[in-house]
Amino acid sequence: MDMNILVTGSKGQLGSELQELSANSGKQHFFFYDLPELDITNQDLVDRVCREHDINVMVNCAAYTAVDKAEADVETAFRVNRDGSAVLASCAKERNALLVHISTDYVFNGESCTPYRVNAPATPLGVYGKSKWEGEERVRQIAPSYMIIRTSWLYSAYGANFVKTMLRLGAERQMLNVVDDQIGTPTYAGDLAAAIVTILEHYDCSKQYRETYHYSNEGVCSWYDFAVAIMDLSGLSCKVLPVSSAHYPQIAPRPSFSVLDKSAIKQEWGVEIPYWRVSLASLLEKIQPRATE
Ligand SMILES: NC(=O)c1ccc[n+]([C@@H]2O[C@H](COP(=O)([O-])OP(=O)(O)OC[C@H]3O[C@@H](n4cnc5c(N)ncnc54)[C@H](OP(=O)(O)O)[C@@H]3O)[C@@H](O)[C@H]2O)c1
């Protein structure tokens, strides 16, 4: 059966990477939408677009992702991340479509010291994490067939992210403080996009899925380690100094440990996940080809 796939939030990091991958996609027909053409909080519009393209799979990459801003703009964060997810889930129910919904490591409070399994209790610390968790719960309650994929520390050639910020600051400054007491794993959005395409290639459209998965790159590091690797691999001489979160106050609280256990997605879909530093090197090669020579 042909697969008509709606990708929401298509101009964001993950949506753009999916767009890049989907050029030659055989039986998979992708339809990419973002604001202002498609607001996921508008049920009529979502239903209309899905009818128009006879959508049977939805990949929700749309989200309110401004973690600090969300603390003051609670209403918008919940409207997009919770209510928008419910709108997509209702449309998926109406059409009997699969909903692939992207979520975050920020649903966890960071008190664990071993990688979070998919069924670990969610106790988000900030507004963004709470709104994403409630979005997940709406998907579970409403959509008859769904895959929720939590990811962490996303970066890509598109949009704003930590890698691009480090490249800019690394070129401007001789020294930079970066926190070394928040531990997690970076994820190259291109790798996650490839994993989603692999799943869609192999999924059985006659089955219903009610799954939660974790996907990040392999390995573990602090933001400090990540920053040092960005400077090293880019040939930037900026010195990165480790500091504690207490010395670098941020508006929203963040989990101090958010390493995700990825065994479920690997075992069930045979997804092969690259080590974070290898993916970082490929991204840097892509966006600044001479830097890594
Ligand atoms: N970025 C991270 O570090 C990170 C970490 C873990 C999980 N995630 C999750 O991964 C997913 C993808 O993240 P990303 O980094 O690709 O996000 P992103 O770059 O911020 O892209 C999100 C896209 O959604 C759009 N959007 C916002 N409100 C919308 C609405 N009401 N209707 C339709 N589209 C809307 C945004 O448009 P505007 O730009 O115009 O607002 C943007 O194009 C999200 O679910 C996010 O929560 C991200």
155 is annotated as an active-site residue = no
- For residue 25, pLDDT over 90 is answered with no
Any ligand 1 atom below 6 A from CB of 255: no
110: left (phi over 0), alpha (psi -120 to 50) or beta: left
Q: What are the sequence ranges of the domains in the chain?
A: 3-159+187-218+258-274
Q: What is the pTM of this model?
A: 0.97
Calculate the alpha carbon distances from 31 to 5, 42, 118, 143, 251 in Å: 6, 17, 29, 20, 36
Of 91, 77, 78, 18, residue with least CA distance to 48: 91
Calculate the alpha carbon distances from 143 to 95, 99, 132, 202, 259 in Å: 10, 7, 16, 20, 27
- For residue 291, pLDDT over 60 is answered with no
Q: Distance from the CA of 103 to the center of ligand 1, in angstroms?
A: 10
Q: From CA 275, how far away is CA 210, in angstroms rounded?
A: 28
pLDDT (0 to 100) of residue 98: 98
Residue 158 DSSP class = S
Ligand 1 atom at minimal distance to the Cα of residue 158:
19
Average pLDDT over residues 214-219: 98
For a mutational test of ligand 1's pocket, the pick from 10, 61, 223, 254, i.e. the residue with the most ligand atoms closer than 8 A to its C-beta, is 61
- Paired tokens of 78: 């919940």
| CATH match of 3-159+187-218+258-274 with 3.40.50.2000 | no
Q: Distance from the CA of 174 to the center of ligand 1, in angstroms?
A: 32
Q: Distance from the CA of 8 to the center of ligand 1, in angstroms?
A: 9
Q: From CA 262, how far away is CA 125, in angstroms rounded?
A: 22
Question: Mutual orientation of helices 276-287 and 162-172 as an angle, nearest 10°?
Answer: 60
93: left (phi over 0), alpha (psi -120 to 50) or beta: alpha
| pLDDT per residue as tens digits for the range 120-140 | 999 999 999 999 999 999 999
